[in-house]
Amino acid sequence: MDTGARAARNELFQSLKPRCVELSQLALRDDASADSTKALVDSTSQLLMVLEDKCQLGDGTFDEKLADYVFFPLSQILKKRQKYTDRLAELTLSCLRILLENGWDKVIALDLAKQLLILLSFAAEGPPDQRGNAIPEEISCEAYRALAALFRDIVVTSGGPAALVDTRTIPALGHCVTVILDGIKNGAAVQVQVQALRALDAVWHCVKDAEALASFLPGTVSALTKYLMPGTGDRRSRKSLVSALVVLEHVLRSLLSDVRTRNIKKEDPQLKSLLENSTEQKVLSKSWLKATTGQIKLALSNIVRLRKHSAMDVRHALNKLCLVILDECHETMTESASLLVETCMILDGVDDEQDLSKRGTSLTDLAIIHTDIGELVKSTAYNWVTSLPRVMQANDESAKQSALEQLRKANHLLKSLNSDSSILEEALGNSLRDSITVTVELIKPKSLQEAEFNMDSQAAVTLFVDNAAASQFRPVILAEESQKQTREKLTELLASLGTRESQINMAGEMLEYIRGASSPSLLAAYWLSFQILKSSAANNEDIDEFFDSSLTLSDEQENIGQELISFSQSVLSNDDDENSTSDWRMQAIALEVIAHRAQSLREDFRPELIDTLYPIAQLLGSPHGDLREHAITCLNIVSKASGYANASSMIIDNVDYMVNSISLRLNTFDISPQAPQVLVMMIRLAGPSLLLYLDDVVASIFAALDNFHGYQKLVEVLFSVLDEIVKVGSISPQMQIEAKSDISLGKQTIPPPTIEEILRLISKSSKSSSALPHEDFPRAPWKSAHTLLDEADAAHQIIDSEEQEEQPSPPQNEIVSPPLNKTYSLLQSITRLSQHYLTSPSPLLRAKLLTLITTASSSLSNNTDNYLPLINDIWPVILPLIHDSSPYVCTTALTTISAICRTAKSFMGSRISSEWGNIMGVAKRAKRGMEKEEKSGRGIYGEARKKWEGIVELLCAIVGYAEVGDEIIDDCLEVLGSLVWERAEVRSAMERGNEDAVWLVCYEAGQYKKMETPGMEGYQFVALKAGI
């Protein structure tokens, strides 16, 4: 020992000496009093502080001799440990642990080690009279730590492991192991259990005798199994579970590895007979090995349930345990191989390490080394495949996710092993189809109820918004939110299905199955074929870009894709076929196929819009809301993929194809509601520019109305198209150009003459009378009647001959009316033909037609030469509707007549006058109904109130625009009553008809202030009275 080490050792000894001497003296003088115990606690605490500060440096200064010196006072306390408090026992055990870890870490006296083994075992177990009670956690923890340090000291001491299995020591060792196992199972705290596990690990590292270990094996495995599979009320921490798995790994490897058991398997029969006849029986035999491996298999079947544990480090430790047993105990644990292989397959990838130098042996490596493990991988994968439909039929989503994830890992493992199997691939395809089938059968599609698609709904508005947000399809299979993770796992599984060739073959088999299948297996096969092809295309996109198609099988994939597209187009085109499926999900999947095709071809997909655009758009009229959303999403995806700004631009650019498709359906009397609804959508998108191409379509609509006028729903849908045409046509630029007309419809207001004009007229009359001389009247005729008749006949003959010789040419300044534009003719034709359906029994249709006429009248009135004959034709049909049984239709009819009066103006004067009695009867009844309804408290929302408002609007239009007589105006003022002065718009309309009458009515009602009688010298004014 050099001088520096000797000096450091002396310095340490000088630090320990006073503490040890003091503690030794206190222990020898101890009288069990409280003061003595307190002094011992203080002295032991000070000694522990010195040990912790100066004896744990690991520089070799604190050796076994100093440890022996410090142990002397501690032994005095340990002899009387049952008399001292728990605090003193804890401090003493802590000091002893430091001696074992740092002083005796290189060598320990075996006699002392045996004594400490017994001492620490009893310390961890507790006093005999208190073993039923809970031992303080601190004492148990320190005792187990000290035991672990003791076994580590024994293993490095010469002859130490052999001394432990000596016949005199083996009982103490057995007792110690029992105490440790009890601490693992019943430890009061997690830290106690962890320290007990470390002590057990130290025991198995220290004992080298196989037979001794074999005697400890059953209890050890049993305790660890119980610890690893706790009940719901006794949960273990991650750290303790990992420690237990590591200990179990070493236990099994140290005793059951192929290296250890190869001699047992080669047991000599003669030696076996000799041992059976002798008094000593050999523990390690073939029978023992067989029984042990069977029990270990039962234990492992419970332990592998930790593969579902949420902690990654626990699953990692379990995977390592299984791999170690498969590798080092391969021959011995053959019975457990299938269980271990299945666990490793489930945990595949849990210990993936990016750093290759840190990677350990994997299941793939073992399968390559051991062919039987490779076969077990295949058989396990096959079992999983065949059990998948049963799992998918249950309601446990976590079980479904686990099954799908296991299959994905199995596929990945088989792919890495290059272990292709046609039987397994076929079974996998059938299992997937059956699994989707049972999933579809569990969730029945909602029954479809006819529901008119409202073009003002949010679904339709999405089409008219730039940058529409709907760009992802809602899931069709496993569509519930609770099934989201299951759906993701299924998608991952489909993406990992073998090689590209196997994926193409599986998709082809699914398409072949489709030809003879029926729903829901048809739906399952259809969806699977699309998902498999989509996954194959996504996985091999980069390869196809750089390599020839003959090498990458891209041509075969393209052929299968074309078959899928053709089938999808047939599904969309034959949606109303009697033989087609009624499941809306088939059409939804077809939309997804078309959208994926567009995303693949990009702008090259535009030529295919000829065949696909209308079938997609017609689904906007589907009675199923989910299918309508699918169609909108498909249009958005296709438009962006094809290079259009949005779906509206795409439809407008291809509107001719869609109009042709709609015309073809209408001409063949296809009475499905989709075509009219799609046409409404196109008119809204394209605007007035589309109306120029709708002449034949409108003719086909009226032809369909003539043939199917008894179908009220169809008639309403068709007239919704006509109504949309009128609305869009009314705002057309061509309709804004006013046509000139020689007919004046406005009321001609003659300004009153001024004084100067009257004087000028009088002066002209006087002058003309004075310029003519007075003559006497004739007393006899100038010519006879016969002569006058002859002269008249001669004059007529001359005039007729002149007219025959020369026809007069038209005046040079006469203007010829221009021909009507197409939009005007279209609106005029719709309005004229609509009158024939105003007698429909449907109130909704009658109201819709009246609204159509109201909308059209504002635009058609610009050309009076054509508008007035139209009004003349439809007037007799519209007027009776003011007596309609439906209040809503009656109110709409009043609004329509008001609009006609405002546009036709004086043309309506005579017609209003001839029907005035009829109109006044309706007005008076409406007023009485309104007054009665107000008394009942229904307010402004009652039917009678709305009808009265229509009457007010009509009377204002009649007086303000139609030239009617004063009697009609007086009747209007009488019916309107106080509304004349209460509403500014009513008074203004009445004043346009007769301002004086309005003033008089207001004056009689007291609406003007009393006028004072003026006074003037020489004159007397008559006072105005209210009765005048």
DSSP letters, 697-748, are HHHHHHHHHHHSTT-HHHHHHHHHHHHHHHHHHHT-GGGGSPPP-S---S--
| AA letter at 505 | N
What single letter denotes the amino acid at residue 301? S
* Of the ranges 456-460, 686-690, 902-906, the best mean pLDDT one: 902-906
Torsion of CA 881, 887, 893, 897, to 10 degrees: 110
Provide the whole-model pTM. Answer: 0.70
Give me the half-sphere count of Cα atoms (radius 13 Å) on the Cβ side of residue 714. Answer: 17
CB count within 10 Å of CB 19 equals: 20
Residue with tokens 């991952």: 492
**CB contact set of 920 (below 8 Å; sequence gap of 6+):** 971, 975
The predicted pLDDT at position 446 comes to: 52
> Which runs of consecutive H residues, i.e. helices, occur in 886-978?
887-904, 909-914, 916-936, 943-961, 966-976
pLDDT of residue 447: 47
Residue type, 151: F
Average pLDDT, the chain: 81
Between 394-408, 691-705, 719-733, 796-810, the lowest mean confidence (pLDDT) is in: 796-810
Secondary structure of 984-996 in the HEC alphabet? HHHHHHHHHHCHH
Q: Which of 972, 963, 966 is nearest to 747 (CA)?
A: 963
Convert the pLDDT of each residue in 350-363 to its tens digit. Answer: 776 655 566 778 88
Q: Give me the DSSP letters along 760-807.
A: HHHHHHHHHHHHSPP-PPPSS-SS-HHHHHHHHHHHHHHHHHHHHH-P
Query: Residue 190 has which token pair?
Result: 């997690």
One-letter identity of residue 431: S
Encode pLDDT of 300-325 as tens digits.
999 998 888 888 889 999 999 999 99
d(CA 735, CA 738): 7
Burial of 741 (0-12, 13-18, 19+ CB in 10 A): middle
- Alpha carbon distance 193, 189 (integer Å): 6
What own/partner pairs with CB < 8 Å and gap ≥ 24 does 368-373 have? 368/417, 370/326, 370/330, 372/337, 373/326, 373/337, 373/341
List, for residues 421-444, the tens digit of each pLDDT value.
788 888 888 999 999 998 888 776
Please report the pLDDT score of residue 278 as a whole number: 42
Q: Is the pLDDT of residue 590 over 90?
A: yes
Residue type, 297: K
Residues 6+ apart with CB under 8 A from 41: 85, 87, 88, 91
Are 168 and 117 within 8 A, CB to CB? no
Q: How confident is the model at residue 249 (pLDDT cuts 50, 70, 90)?
A: very high
* Torsion sign, CA atoms 666, 667, 668, 669: positive
pLDDT greater at residue 467 or residue 903: 903
Q: Which carries the bigger pLDDT value, residue 862 or residue 344?
A: 344
Confidence of residue 736 (pLDDT cuts 50, 70, 90): low
Burial of residue 185, with CB atoms counted within 10 A of its CB: 0-12 exposed, 13-18 middle, 19 or more buried: middle
CB 429 within 8 A of CB 506: yes
Of residues 149 and 741, which shows the higher confidence score? 149
**44, 91 contact by CB (below 8 A):** yes
Closest CA to 44 of 2, 85, 102, 9: 85
pLDDT band at 297 (very low <50, low <70, confident <90, very high): very high
For residue 542, what is the enclosing H or E element?
helix 541-546
**Collapsing DSSP states into helix, strand and coil, what is residue 278?**
coil
Least confident of 20-29, 90-99, 1018-1027: 1018-1027
Q: Would you state the pLDDT for residue 648?
A: 79
Rounded to the nearest angstrom, the gap between the alpha carbon of residue 35 and the centroid of all alpha carbons in its chain is 75
Single-letter amino acid, residue 470: A
Contact 314, 282 (CB under 8 A): no
pLDDT above 80 for 74: yes
For 361-392, the pLDDT digits (tens) are 888 889 889 889 989 999 999 999 999 999 98
Q: Which residue from 229, 170, 165, 224 is spatially nearest to 200, judged by alpha carbons?
A: 224
CA 989 – CA 993 distance, rounded (Å): 7
Side-chain half-sphere of 101: how many Cα atoms within 13 Å? 19
Fill in the DSSP letter of residue 101.
I
Nearest to 658 by CA among 620, 706, 625: 620
Q: What is the pLDDT of residue 269?
A: 55
pLDDT score for 800: 59
Res 5: pLDDT: 73
Cβ neighbours of 983 (radius 10 Å): 14
Work out the pLDDT band at 909, boundaries 50, 70, 90.
Answer: confident
CA distance 81 to 142: 15
Rounded Cα–Cα distance for residues 570 and 149 (Å): 79
What is the pLDDT, as a whole number, of residue 686?
75
Any bridge partners for residue 1019, and if so which? 1016
CB 339 within 8 A of CB 325: no
| Residue range 615-659, pLDDT digits in tens | 888 887 777 888 888 888 998 899 999 999 888 788 888 887 888
SS3 assignment for 600-633: HHHHHHHHHHHHHHHHHHHHHHCCCHHHHHHHHH
Cis peptide before 171 (omega within 30 of 0): no
Give the tens place of pLDDT for each residue, 513-546.
Answer: 888 877 788 999 999 999 988 888 877 665 555 5
Under a CB-based contact definition with an 8 Å cutoff, are residues 181 and 226 in contact? no
For the chain, counts of helices (H) and of strands (E):
48, 0
* pLDDT at residue 340 tops 90: yes
Angstrom distance (rounded) from CA 518 to CA 524? 10
Cβ-proximal residues to 933 (8 Å cutoff; 6+ apart), any chain: 942, 943, 944, 945
Buried b (16+ CB within 10 A) or exposed e, 234-271: eebeebbbbbbbbbbbebbbbbbbeebbeebeebeeee
Phi, psi of 1016, rounded to the nearest 5 degrees: -155, 140
CB within 8 Å of 451: residues ≥ 6 apart: 623
Question: Which of 84-88, 568-572, 909-913, 974-978 bottoms out in mean pLDDT, i.e. has the lowest?
Answer: 84-88
**795 or 891, which is more confident?**
891
956 or 785, which is more confident: 956
Q: How confident is the model at residue 341 (pLDDT cuts 50, 70, 90)?
A: very high
**pLDDT value at position 578?**
41
Query: What pLDDT is stored for residue 939 in this prediction?
Result: 63
